[in-house]
A and B are shown apart, each in its own frame.
Chain A
Amino acid sequence: MTGMNTQSSETAAGQSPDQSAMSKSRVLEADKSCSVPVMFLLTWALAWLVGGGILAVVSSIKLHGPGFLAGSAWLTYGRVQPASIHALLYGFGFQAAIAVGLWMIARLGQAELMGRKGILLGGAFWNLGVCLGVFGILGGAGTGHPMLEMPGFVSPLLLVSYSLMGVWALITLHFRQVRSLYVSQWYLLAALFWFPWIFIAAQSSLVFHPVRGALQFVISSWYGHAVVALWLVPVALAVLFYFIPKLLGRPLHSKHLATFGFWTMALFAGWGGVQAGAPVPRWISSVCIVGGGLMLLPLIAVGMNWWFTARGAKPAQGDFVWGFIRFAAVAFFAAMLLDIGGRTRVIGEVTDLTVFSSGVYALYFYGVFGMSIAGAVYYLVPKITQTEWPSAQLIRWHYLGSMVGTVLITAALVVGGVIQGLRLNNADIAFVDALAKTVPFLGLSTLGGLILVAANVAFLLNLVRLLTVCCRCCCCLPWNGTANGNKAAAVGANL
C-alpha cells in the first residue's frame, strides 16, 4: 500500500489527438465492461436500501409508539432495529460501494473490468448472506454485538463473496492502462483492504473465539466505529475526490495535500469507539478522545483541498449529480465535527448513551455515504448502459427527498439526543419524564425516514425503468451478455 501515492507527475500540458481518441475509446470500453456486474449489484443494493429503509421506519415508529406491531417476537424493537441497520449497511452499503468502486477502478485505469462472472457470483452469494443474516436477526439468532449481529454462519459466506468481488477489483487495478493512481484509487484500495481486516479481527474475537468479558465491548465498539471510519467514509471520499474536480472541470488543488489527508486518516481513523466513562480501563477511552482530535487533521486537509478546488467554480450545465456531491461534501464536515465533538468528555457526558449517536450515524450513512453513492450512480449508470435516465422528475424527487429526509433524521436525533442527555443527567427528573421530551423528536425522525423511503423508491423506480428501457432496446436481457463479455460490450456499442 506504500506504493499508492505514486501519483505520476507527468501530466503533460498537451496530448496528441490520437492519444486522446485512444484513451477515450478505452474509457468507453471500460464503462461498457462494467455494465452487467455493476447494474446487478446496484439493483440489489437499491432493493436493500428500500427494504432496509422500511424496516428502519418500523423500528423508528416503535421507539415512540411501543405498541406498534408489538405482538410478534420477529418484529420486536430489539430485533427490527439491528435488522434494519444490517440490511442497510451490508445490503445497500457494501453492494453499492463495491459497484461504484469497481466502475471507478475500471474507469480511472481505463481498463476493462475483469472477472465479471466471478463478481456476479460473489454478488449473488453476498445477497444470500445478507438475506440469511437479516432473517437470522429477526428470528432471534443475533450475536448481540451491534453492527455484527448477523449469525456466525453467515460471516464466512460474506467474506468469501466479498473476496470474489474484491479480488477482481485488484486484478482490474493491476492491469490498468493508466499507471498513475488518482486520489480516489488510494481510498478505494485502502477501503478494500480495511474491511476484511476489521471484519475478520472483530468476527474472530467476538463470534468464533469469543474473548472474555468487557473486552468484547471494546472490540465491538471499535468495529462499529471502524466500519464507518474505515469503510463508509473512505468510499465516500473516493467518490467525492473523483467527482468534485471532474464536475467542476478543473484539477484537484493539490495531490500533496490529498496525500497528507489520506495518511493522517489512515493513521488516526481507527482510534475510536469507546466513550468516556465506559467500564474499561481509562486509557482506552482517552486514546479514543485523542484519536478523535487528531481526525481534525485529515478533515482540514480534505476541506482545504476541496475548497481551493471548488472556489469560484460552477459545475457544468446545472448538473444534477453535482447536487448530490455537494450535499455529501458538506455532510462529511458536519458528520465529522459532530462525531469528534461527541467523543469529548464535556459533550459526551450529555450525548453518550442517547440517540445522538444514531443521528450522527444517520448523517454518515445517508448524508455522506448515500448521497455520494447516489451522485455516482446517476453519473455512471447512463455511461455503462448507454441509456439515459428515463425520468428527470424522479431524480428531482429523489434529490429533494433524500436531502430533506437526511436533514430531518439527523437534526431530530441530534437535538433529541442532546435533550435526552440533558434531562437524564438531571436526577430530579424521573426517567419516564426525561424521555418524554425526546419523543416528539423521535416522531420527526420517523417522518424523515418515511421521506427517505419515498425518495429511495423513486431512485429504485428510475433504475428499474432504465433497465427495462435498456433491455427493450437491446431486444435481449443485458445479462445474456455475461456469457461473453465482448458481446455485452458490442451490444452496448450498438445503442
Chain B
Amino acid sequence: MAVTWYGMLVAPSRQMGGQQQANVGPGNERYPIPRLGPAHRGAEVYRSNGCAYCHTQQVRPQGYGSDFERGWGLRMSAAQDFLFEETVALGQVRMGPDLANVGFRLTDEAWHYAHLYNPKSKVTGSLMPQYPFLFKEQPIKGSPSGDALVLTGAFAPPTGVEIVPTKEARELVAYLMSLKSQVPLFETPLPAGPKQDAEATASSEGAGNAQTNLALNR
C-alpha cells in the first residue's frame, strides 16, 4: 500500500511538483504564462458547469488516435501546459471536440457566443446542450447593443428583443480564447516531417494552418 502510494502519488509529485516555467525561445520566452483577468475567471465558469464532462483538453500523441489529423494540435499535450491551471480539466470523454488549442482553431468570439447560446445554430447535428443561462434576453432600447448575438434564420430572437452575453459568458469565451498549447517543448518537440515547417507555430502562421484544416464540425 505504501508502495502504491509512493509510486502513484509521491514519485509523480517529486517529478512534477516542482515544475517551473520553461524557456521556449531564443529570446528567453517563458511558457506557460499565467492567465489574468476574465480568462482566469472563465476557468471557474468552465469548471462549475462541468464542461470537462464532455470536452477534453489533451492532444494525444501523434500516431495514437487521430488528434493530429483532426488538427487539434501540432504536438501532444504535456504536463508543462497545465502548470498554472487552478483546476486541471483534462477531461475523460470526448462527447465534444478537444479544446486544448481552441484559442488557435476558432478565433471568432462572435462564433463562440452564438454557439454557446445555441450550438445547433453553428454546428448542424451538434450534441452540445444550449447554455441560455449564460445570456440575457432584453428588449432593444433604441439601437441594438454592440455585443448582441448575431443569430439568423430559425435561431433569431423575436423582433424587438436582443440577446446579450452575461459576464460569465464573456469570461468563458475569454478563457476559451486563451486555450493555446502549440509551443514546442523539449519533452514534446514538434513531430518531424511535413509539419516541421510550422516551426513558428506560436505565430499566427501555424494557427492559420490549423484553422484552415478545421472544418467547423471537426
Is there a contact between chains A and B in the complex with CB atoms less than 8 Å apart?
yes
- How far does the Cβ of B213 sit from chain A's closest Cβ, in whole Å? 10
By the criterion CB–CB under 8 Å, are A70 and B132 in contact? yes
Residues of A within 8 A of B82 (CB): 213-214, 216-217, 279
Q: Considering the complex, which residues of chain B in the window 108-128 have a beta carbon less than 8 Å from any beta carbon of chain A?
A: 119, 123-128
By the criterion CB–CB under 8 Å, are A78 and B50 in contact? yes
A355 contacts the other chain (CB 8 A) = yes
Residues of A within 8 A of B97 (CB): 431
By the criterion CB–CB under 8 Å, are B12 and A215 in contact? yes
List 17 additional A-B contacts (Cβ < 8 Å) besides A66-B127, A67-B129: A63-B127, A66-B129, A77-B50, A82-B53, A194-B1, A205-B9, A215-B13, A217-B88, A222-B9, A267-B4, A270-B4, A277-B61, A279-B59, A279-B81, A284-B8, A358-B93, A431-B97
Q: Considering the complex, which residues of chain B in the window 6-62 have a beta carbon less than 8 Å from any beta carbon of chain A?
A: 7-9, 12-13, 15-17, 19, 47-54, 56, 58-61
B209 contacts the other chain (CB 8 A) = no
B131 contacts the other chain (CB 8 A) = yes
Cα distance, A66 to B120, chains bound together (Å): 10
Cα distance, A5 to B159, chains bound together (Å): 76
Given A66-B127, A349-B64, A354-B93, A81 and B50 contact (CB-CB distance below 8 Å): yes
By the criterion CB–CB under 8 Å, are A279 and B77 in contact? yes
Residues of A within 8 A of B95 (CB): 63, 355, 435
- How far does the Cβ of B136 sit from chain A's closest Cβ, in whole Å? 13
By the criterion CB–CB under 8 Å, are B217 and A430 in contact? yes
Which of B65-73, B143-151, B194-202 is the interface stretch? B65-73
Residues of A within 8 A of B17 (CB): 211-212, 215
A73 contacts the other chain (CB 8 A) = yes
Residues of B within 8 A of A79 (CB): 48-50
B90 contacts the other chain (CB 8 A) = yes
CB nearest to A80 among chain B residues? B50
- How far does the Cβ of B190 sit from chain A's closest Cβ, in whole Å? 15
A427 contacts the other chain (CB 8 A) = yes
Given A62-B129, A353-B91, A266 and B49 contact (CB-CB distance below 8 Å): no
Cα distance, A73 to B134, chains bound together (Å): 9
User: Total A-B pairs in contact (CB under 8 Å)?
Assistant: 205
Which of A67, A216, A420 lies in contact with B87, CB distance below 8 A?
A: A216
Residues of B within 8 A of A357 (CB): 92-93
A440 contacts the other chain (CB 8 A) = no
Given A66-B130, A67-B129, A78-B52, A213 and B83 contact (CB-CB distance below 8 Å): yes
Cα distance, A222 to B9, chains bound together (Å): 9
Residues of B within 8 A of A353 (CB): 56, 60, 65, 91-94
Cα distance, A143 to B50, chains bound together (Å): 9
Which of B51, B65, B126, B129 lies in contact with A425, CB distance below 8 A?
A: B65
Residues of A within 8 A of B4 (CB): 267, 270-271
CB nearest to B56 among chain A residues? A353
Proximity bits, A275-296, B CB within 8 Å = 1, else 0: 0111111001001000000000
A426 contacts the other chain (CB 8 A) = yes
Cα distance, A140 to B82, chains bound together (Å): 22
- How far does the Cβ of B115 sit from chain A's closest Cβ, in whole Å? 13
Cα distance, A270 to B7, chains bound together (Å): 9
- How far does the Cβ of B16 sit from chain A's closest Cβ, in whole Å? 5
Q: Considering the complex, which residues of chain A in the window 194-226 have a beta carbon less than 8 Å from any beta carbon of chain B?
A: 194, 197, 201, 205, 210-220, 222
